[in-house]
Amino acid sequence: MPGAPAAPDLTTQPRPVYVIGAGPGGLAAAAALRSRGVRAVVVEKSDAPGASWRGHYDRLHLHTTRRLSALPGLAMPRRFGRWVSRDDVVRYLEKYAEHHELELVTGVEVIRVERAPDGHGWTLHASGGRVLAAAAVVVATGFNHTPALPAWPGRDGYTGELLHAAGYRNPAPYAGRDVLVVGVGNTGAEIAVDLAEGGAARVRLAVRTAPHIVRRSTAGWPAQRTGILVRRLPVRLVDRLGALVARASVPDLSAHGLPRPATGLYSRVRQGAIPVQDVGLIDAVRRGAVEPVAAVDSFDGAEVVLADGARIAPDAVIAATGYRRALEGLVGHLGVLDARGRPRTHGARTAAGAPGLHFTGFSNPISGMFREMALDAERIAKAVARQVRRTA
């Protein structure tokens, strides 16, 4: 195109853009940068891309459709089906890195990011004493980075089995056992159903706040598309619409210990609470295969004390209590995190005192995480390419 600036030559860029993390967000950003002629080096602390996906439980599928979950420049194969399995997500990420010929360095962990001494770009301190000079940095270490296990009183003295959901793979070890799942987000709900269907003798689900439950698909229309359409509508309007849809499509489970939430669906989303997509929970609760109980208050020897004062003695407790972003050591000193340790900016936007430092994949939007990371990747690449051209 006449008059358009020439794309930078990859071979003459002394400082590449470093992308930290080879999950979907990091790979998408690297591919988008490469397509704009910007050299991007992906640094991954594990030995292969998609490490977090490899560690998820066996049953997991994307709750977003295959067509709306593809990353820039490569569609997901139709043979993966509409709801892509964990194993197929891993296959896709491996193929994605290969297809885009991404420059991927594995087995190296970036420990700290600092401004370059000359004020231009960034310096990365990595394992093995490595010091890397970067024109810009994309942090894509993931929403589910470090398992968060609450410091319940008496937890360390609990004589049963206690593990975070990150350590759960399948129901086989729990056949014939009494299991308490703590947390009714998507992970906790699906693990509870998995256990009930996989032969656990009893499955209870500890609920602190009743969740909004939505059908993953209604008459062929995926909930994700609704999430995309309503993102820019007024919160109160979406709350009203959500309540109408819920009454029409989701039965009232109050008699089973799971009442309808008092707060509107979109109001809860804005507070960070994503609706639970039904992959069997409604049916399991209605037939008593999964029993909702009060939240966990503390542990006492072999017993779990619930918030309503009840005491139960499960054989195992699986805590689906979320993850921390764990960014403090990496970038906490740069003033780019909020009080909860989350990036203040994402995508193409950067903090005022940290130009060229981008974040992707640190939110869980109702429109779909993969979709939003794909959009972020293109925006980041555009902003960084413009910066590289100015510097050149």
Per-residue model confidence (pLDDT) at position 14? 67
Q: Is the pLDDT of residue 392 over 70?
A: no
Residue that terminates a domain, selected from 261, 285, 319: 319
Q: Assign 15 to helix, strand or coil.
A: coil
Q: Letter for the amino acid at 363?
A: S
Q: Assign 139 to helix, strand or coil.
A: strand
The more confidently predicted of residues 248 and 168 is 168
Give the CATH number of the domain where residue 78 resides.
3.50.50.60
Q: Does residue 101 fall inside a structural domain? A: yes
Q: Does residue 69 fall inside a structural domain? A: yes
* Helix segments in the chain, DSSP class H: 24-35, 51-54, 86-99, 186-197, 223-230, 235-249, 265-270, 281-286, 328-331, 369-391
Task: Say what the pTM is.
Answer: 0.91
Q: Is the pLDDT of residue 84 over 90?
A: yes
Residues 294 and 190 reside in one and the same domain:
yes
Residues 205 and 92 reside in one and the same domain:
no
Phi-psi region of 362 (alpha: psi -120 to 50; beta: other; left: phi over 0): alpha
Q: Is the pLDDT of residue 22 over 60?
A: yes
Q: Is the pLDDT of residue 10 over 50?
A: no
The contacts of residue 309 (CB under 8 Å, 6+ apart) are none
Q: Is the pLDDT of residue 243 over 90?
A: yes
Average pLDDT, integer, range 336-348: 94
Instruction: Provide the token pair at 230.
Output: 């309503």
Residues 330 and 280 reside in one and the same domain:
no
Q: Is the pLDDT of residue 323 over 90?
A: yes
Residue that terminates a domain, selected from 295, 319, 343: 319
Residue with tokens 């109160």: 236
Q: Does residue 202 fall inside a structural domain? A: yes
Residues 278 and 155 reside in one and the same domain:
yes
Q: Does residue 140 fall inside a structural domain? A: yes
Q: Is the pLDDT of residue 9 over 70?
A: no
Residues 119 and 157 reside in one and the same domain:
no
Residue 389: pLDDT band with limits 50, 70, 90: confident
Residues 213-228: tens digit of each pLDDT: 999 988 888 888 898 8
Tally of domains in the chain: 2
Instruction: Provide the token pair at 11.
Output: 């071979």
The more confidently predicted of residues 357 and 2 is 357
Per-residue model confidence (pLDDT) at position 311? 98
Residues 358-381: tens digit of each pLDDT: 999 998 888 899 999 999 999 999
Q: Does residue 277 fall inside a structural domain? A: yes
Mean pLDDT score across all residues of the chain: 93
Residues 170 and 310 reside in one and the same domain:
yes
Residues 197 and 302 reside in one and the same domain:
yes
Q: Is the pLDDT of residue 354 over 60?
A: yes
Residues 250-295: tens digit of each pLDDT: 999 999 999 999 899 989 988 888 899 999 999 999 999 999 999 9
Residue that terminates a domain, selected from 319, 340, 371: 319
Q: Does residue 3 fall inside a structural domain? A: no
Per-residue model confidence (pLDDT) at position 269? 87
Q: Assign 357 to helix, strand or coil.
A: strand
Residues 368 and 266 reside in one and the same domain:
no
Is the distance from CB of 11 to CB of 37 less than 8 angstroms?
no
Q: Is the pLDDT of residue 13 over 70?
A: no
Q: Is the pLDDT of residue 3 over 50?
A: no
Strands 130-134 and 122-126: antiparallel
Rounded-to-integer distance, Cα 359 and Cα 257, Å: 39
Q: Which of 303-317, 346-360, 378-392 has the lowest mean pLDDT?
A: 378-392
Residues 85-128: tens digit of each pLDDT: 999 999 999 999 999 999 999 999 999 999 999 888 999 999 99
Is the distance from CB of 183 to CB of 319 less than 8 angstroms?
yes
Element (H, E) at 304: strand 303-306
The more confidently predicted of residues 365 and 16 is 16
Residues 45 and 110 reside in one and the same domain:
yes
Share of the chain above pLDDT 70, in %: 96
Is the distance from CB of 76 to CB of 99 less than 8 angstroms?
no
Residues 207 and 295 reside in one and the same domain:
yes
Q: Does residue 1 fall inside a structural domain? A: no
Phi-psi region of 335 (alpha: psi -120 to 50; beta: other; left: phi over 0): left
Residues 291-308: tens digit of each pLDDT: 999 999 999 999 999 999
Residues 231 and 380 reside in one and the same domain:
no
Q: Does residue 2 fall inside a structural domain? A: no
For 62, the domain range is: 10-145+325-391
Residues 173 and 94 reside in one and the same domain:
no
